[in-house]
Amino acid sequence: METTAELLTPLAQPGITGSPTLSVLMRFLVLRYYAQYYSFCSIGKDFLEDLPVGRILLPADAQLESRLLHAIDSGCQAFVVDEPGVALFLELYISVHDMARQRSLDKRLILLVTQQNRPELFQLLRSHDAFRELPNVLIIVYDGEASQPTALFTTYVTTSDVLQRSVNVSLEQLPIDWTDWEGCSFFPDTTSDLKGYVLRTSTLNYMPFTGFERVEVGAGNAFDSETGERSIWLDGTELQLLVAFCELRNCNILVFPDDEDTWGEVYPNATGNGLMGSVVERRTDIALGAFYLWLKPYNFSTYTATISRSGVTMLVAKPKMLPFWRTPFLSFSLPLWAAVIVTFFAGSMAAWVAGTVRHRLLLVSGHNNARAGDDATDLIAEQLTLSDAVLMMVGFFVAQSSAVRTDLWSCVFLFATLLLAGFMVSNMYSGGLASIMTVPQYEKSIDTVRDFAATGMTWYGPTPYCLAEISSATEPHLQQILKTYIPCGIEEMGVYARKGVGGFVIEQAQHGNFAPSDFLDRASSSTLQPLKDFVFTQNCAALMTNTNPLRSDLNAYILAVQQSGLLYHIGTLSAIRYLPTDVMRNIERARMHSHGDGAIRLEIGHFLGAFFILGYGLLVAGLVFVGEVWGTMMVRRLNEVFAGKAPHEGSKRCTSRNLSHKDIEGYTVVTNID
């Protein structure tokens, strides 16, 4: 590492005579290290001619910001910056990349510095925050007159305190053997040992994905942003992965917990709150909390490789067991009951019409034959009233015998048909009732998202971003549940869960665990069940700043851990340690009824339906009887009233008329006798 005195004196160069010209060196570096990129940007003079690699030339002037932004969006993934544009480029590097749409990995930077201005520029570079985002930097100090390199440097970022926001940039000279310079490494690996690099991390408690707790000083695996002490223990599938990565790469995790605003919100002016806002405003470098690939934060930040897969479903109320008084009505469905009722009334009317026609035929036949000794009461007994027809159909439907007329073939066909219909209805009802009484019956269960949408119930979740994936859905059932979603806090969700009102967002992790569970307790979890399908599925990733230098290495580490299957082990251990076992067990077994799959014994409650029908029949019969008695009394009183008025008005006339009639009748009789 250079000292200040060394920076101020020309470099003593044993063997420097064998070094290539700056043009040859730059051509070699671009072909070896920049050929992998789509293109690169040259700001100022780059000493390159006739290069078969795509590049974008930019002047170091006042319009560099807009031109650099356009170049990055056009595919510029690495940079060569000459001395006049170094300071301006470093100032614009972070802000321009935050606005850019392209997010390339492993960016490289070559700075060209003249020997004459080396001390001033190095003093600027030593404290510039942009180098915290640039691990692959090569500084070429060259002689402006001879256009030959005199020294090559790379950068390392160090911090004296984890709470310190500014960085210390160490410039380390590369030991280049100019006699064999083509075999040397000009971009050494600076990320395998990050030398205590402070990774500012925001997170929240959202097990089994992320979780933290404060422990004694020195017993944690991360630093607390409030005290600067190693007093936070990180756990969960995502945070354990990050802890293992930092142990491998020698970096420190500084935690910024945010359980108040949780995931937060991002606004169009690149501000926000919560976890997403902390990354967008660059208060932290990375945020972990089972982030889906949401668009709003992606406008100002980026995502890592997929850490796990997750599916969002709902917890809804379990179907309750139907009351026993409904047992007699459960054998048939509603359409079948309607068909039985229509059949009953149609059969009753047909039997009554047939009986009436038959009775009239008997009257006509008896009058024509004029048989001696026929009694009119015999014909009256043959008459079938409407009540007789109804009771006859009831007898057919309950498999009881009824009086059947067989003297007309039409009656034979009719009653034979009614007997067969009643036989089938009776047997179907008996079979259905047998199964209903031995297997418990429940309310209609809400099993799918379509079922839930059909109910029109509201559902609750911790963040409005739960709807981001289905906000533009065209399916009618998804559009319906979009209208009934209400974001609320964990405590409010707990109140609704205990009341059993509506549905609740719940996330199922890749290996079967559920989150969140903070709003559930043992009692409320026993009354809820998850849907059989997902509202949507999504991939979980970490949210990072656009220029985070660890993204490439972290992505590779995530994929390696995914392939090894360690995430399942980490997730299982986290669930065992932190998630309420009884609540998780209740959710997983919510669709397993306690009575099992076998038949149950009949109890007195199974006959409540029959007793209900009996009681209802007695009640109706009693009310009808009272009505009939009351109606008879009223008719009698009305008859007495009208009969009492008639004698007073014409008693004399009626009496004389009656007497005169009798006298005349008697007179006639006497006359005939004489």
Range of the domain at 416: 325-364+383-438
Please enumerate in sequence order all residues whose Cβ is within 8 A of that of 257, keeping only pairs 6 or more positions apart, or say none: 202, 203, 204, 212, 225, 232
Contact status, residue 205 vs residue 234, Cβ threshold 8 Å: no
Question: Structural domain tally of the chain?
Answer: 4
Instruction: Band the pLDDT of 603: cuts 50, 70, 90.
Output: low
**Residue 198 shares a structural domain with residue 314:** no
484 within a domain of the structure (yes/no): yes
The Cα 562–Cα 554 span in angstroms is 12
Instruction: Band the pLDDT of 671: cuts 50, 70, 90.
Output: very low
* Residue 373 in this model has a pLDDT that exceeds 60: no
**Residue 26 shares a structural domain with residue 103:** yes
As given in the structure block, the two tokens for residue 313 are: 């479903």
The residue that leads in pLDDT, 124 or 419, is 124
**Residue 312 shares a structural domain with residue 453:** yes
C-beta contacts of 57-60 below 8 A and 24+ residues apart:
60/84, 60/85, 60/88, 60/89
**Residue 53 shares a structural domain with residue 173:** yes
Q: What is the mean pLDDT of the chain?
A: 83
Per-residue b or e along 586-607, where b marks 16 or more CB atoms closer than 10 Å to that residue's CB: bbeebeeeeeeeeeeeeeeebb
Per-residue b or e along 58-79, where b marks 16 or more CB atoms closer than 10 Å to that residue's CB: bebeeebeebbbebbeeebbbb
Among the candidates 160, 183, 206, a domain finishes at 183
Burial class (CB in 10 A: 0-12, 13-18, 19+), 628: exposed
**What is the four-CA torsion angle of 368, 371, 375, 379, rounded to 10 degrees?**
-40
CA angle (390, 396, 400) in 5-degree steps: 110
Q: What is the total residue count of the chain?
A: 674
The Cα 221–Cα 235 span in angstroms is 9
Least confident window among 80-94, 97-111, 217-231, 335-349: 335-349
* Amino acid letter for position 576: I
pLDDT in tens, 158-180: 888 889 888 889 899 998 888 88
What percentage of the chain exceeds 70 in pLDDT? 86
pTM > 0.75: yes or no: no
Q: Note the pLDDT of residue 254.
A: 96
Question: 292: helix, coil or strand?
Answer: coil
**Residue 315 shares a structural domain with residue 452:** yes
What percentage of the chain exceeds 90 in pLDDT? 39
**Residue 132 shares a structural domain with residue 263:** no
The Cα 579–Cα 429 span in angstroms is 49
Which range has the top average pLDDT, 18-27, 55-64, 364-373, 420-429? 55-64
pLDDT in tens, 379-411: 555 677 787 788 778 877 777 766 666 667 777
Per-residue b or e along 382-403, where b marks 16 or more CB atoms closer than 10 Å to that residue's CB: eebeeebbbebbebbbeeeebe
93 within a domain of the structure (yes/no): yes
134 within a domain of the structure (yes/no): yes
As given in the structure block, the two tokens for residue 96 are: 């321009």
**Residue 146 shares a structural domain with residue 79:** yes
Q: Note the pLDDT of residue 326.
A: 72
Please enumerate in sequence order all residues whose Cβ is within 8 A of that of 385, keeping only pairs 6 or more positions apart, or say none: 352, 355
